[in-house]
Structure 1
Amino acid sequence: MTPRETPVPPAVAALPHDPRGYPIPAITPRDAEGNPTFAITGAARTLICAIERRCSICGTPMAAGPVYRVIAAAETEALTAAHEAGRTAANKAPSPEPPGHRACMLFAAFTCPFLARPNARRGQDADVMGSALTRGTARGSSAESGTEIGGAVAGFADYEFRYTPGANQVAFVFSSLTELRTHQLGADQIPELISALTDAEPAVGTCPPYLLDDEEAAAAYASALLEEAMARSRRSGVTEA
């Protein structure tokens, strides 16, 4: 399936595209030559999206209400089991993968190579809040679990995040499962995306320039946001004292 044949949320279609014609997500950093590095997420870009409540795919604002992410087979099965047992299902394990709009995550489920297939391998090592994510490990597969689940697009009531300056990492936790759309392959989500785009309200806002193709602008803006947060914290400490 080529980029022209796939259903694309309008805000995603408005993003910069790589030479193959694929849109470049807002959290994708650029190398020294300005080329997108799809294998990793940019800490500065991720932090901006987390603070400003922006979709990690299209970079436009997320309204109050549920947020979404694409989850692997093991997470899907754990959340399904909790829901079937009548327990409140949440996603409290720290994740480096930020949330986004429902339509954007349905799109990401079948266009991102790491998300689209359950046997996709992680391209980079990571240590997120004590959880080791090893390069080369698979997201999960039906062959390992004995089920037909390869993953899911999951909705959650809200998210929290933590930034670790020394490691330059942003980690997310999610609360109260609101929706769980399972799939074996990410392409299974295409009919639902078509339906979602048919019924969707127009996107609010556009992706800001500091989340487009200028990595220096992203880093500078993230630094400014951190300085503002630290200043507020200092002022709060003085007020309490």
Structure 2
Amino acid sequence: MRFDSVPMPTAVQARPRDSRGYPVPAITPWEGAEPQFALTDYGRSADCARGRLCSVCNELMPRGPVWRVVGGTESAAIAEALEAGRPYRNLAPTMEGPGHRACMLYASMVCPYLARPNARRGRTADGESELTSHLVRGTARGGRGAVVGFADYEFAITATQVLFRFLDVVEFLPHADADEHLGDLEAELARRQPR
């Protein structure tokens, strides 16, 4: 599915666009007039964490569940825990911030790396970090990804990174191809529309 045929949340529609028309997430750094999609801006990520702002649209997330998109390894770990009736908590922090359900469903569908198991990273993540050492240009997402809802999140802001941990899975939407989320996204957008 082409990115421009995926229904877009209203708040995402207001985001700046790149030269192809892709909306630029709130935490994406810019180099001149070009967004650097595979990277995370430290200051913007810290602002989102402190202000409980969605990392995609930059608007307030109300108290309650938050969502994020996970890759194959974490998706498999969550699925295994849920199938065994065990709670799941990502004890290892991540640099990927939370967002609204609609924003994360949308991001899972339009980001080529998140959307398909055979998609490959376009660039290597910045820095020499244990958290990003696996994010190397050409690495495939692999496995089944997922959009996951969590009861809440914790964060820490260090001198060089913003780190997140997510608490208590409340929704697990796995996918091989994120186009599988089209119905969920359409229903979420309809639910959020003022009546």
TM exceeding 0.5: yes
Identity of aligned pairs, percent?
46
Secondary structure at the residue paired with 2:188? helix
Distance in 1 (alpha carbons) for counterparts of 2:69 and 2:4:
22
Matched residue pairs, number? 191
Task: Say which structure is richer in helix.
Answer: 1
Question: Which residue type is aligned with residue 27 of structure 1?
Answer: I
Task: Single out whichever of 99-108 and 126-135 deviates more from structure 2.
Answer: 126-135
1:135 equivalent in structure 2: 136
1:154 aligns with 148
Q: Which of 191, 199, 203 is 2:191 aligned to?
A: 199
Q: 2:174 is matched with which residue?
A: 182
Given the two structures, how large is their TM-score scaled by the length of structure 1? 0.74
Q: Quick one: distance in 1 between partners of 2:4 and 2:180?
A: 18
SS of residue in 1 equivalent to 2:151: strand
Q: Which runs of 5+ in 2 are unaligned?
A: none
Q: Distance in 2 between matches of 1:77 and 1:94?
A: 17
Q: 1:95 touches 1:128 (CA, 8 Å); kept in 2?
A: no
Once the two structures are superposed, residues 17-51 of structure 1 have per-residue CA deviations (whole angstroms, 9 ceiling, x without a partner) of: 122222111111111x2321112111111111011
Query: Residue 95 of structure 1 aligns to a residue in which SS?
Result: coil
Instruction: Tell me by how many angstroms 1:14 deviates.
Output: 1.1
Counterpart CA distance in 2 for 1:78 and 1:3 is: 29
RMSD after superposition? 1.8
Gaps of 5+ in 1: 142-149, 203-241
Report deviation, 1:169. Answer: 1.2
CA drift of 1:151 comes to: 0.7
1:1-241 alignment to 2 at 5 Å? 1-31=1-31, 33-122=32-121, 123-125=123-125, 126-128=127-129, 132-136=133-137, 137-141=139-143, 150-165=144-159, 168-200=160-192
The change in CA–CA distance for 1:195 and 1:159 in structure 2 (over 3 A counts) is same
CA distance in 2, matches of 1:130, 1:41: 13
SS state of the match for residue 171, structure 2?
A: strand
Q: State the alpha-carbon separation in 2 of the partners of residues 6 and 76 from structure 1.
A: 23
- How much does 1:91 deviate? 2.2
Cα separation, partners in 2 of 1:128 and 1:158, compared to 1, 3 Å: farther
Write the letter of the residue equivalent to 2:182. I
What is the TM-score when the length of structure 2 is the normalising length?
0.90
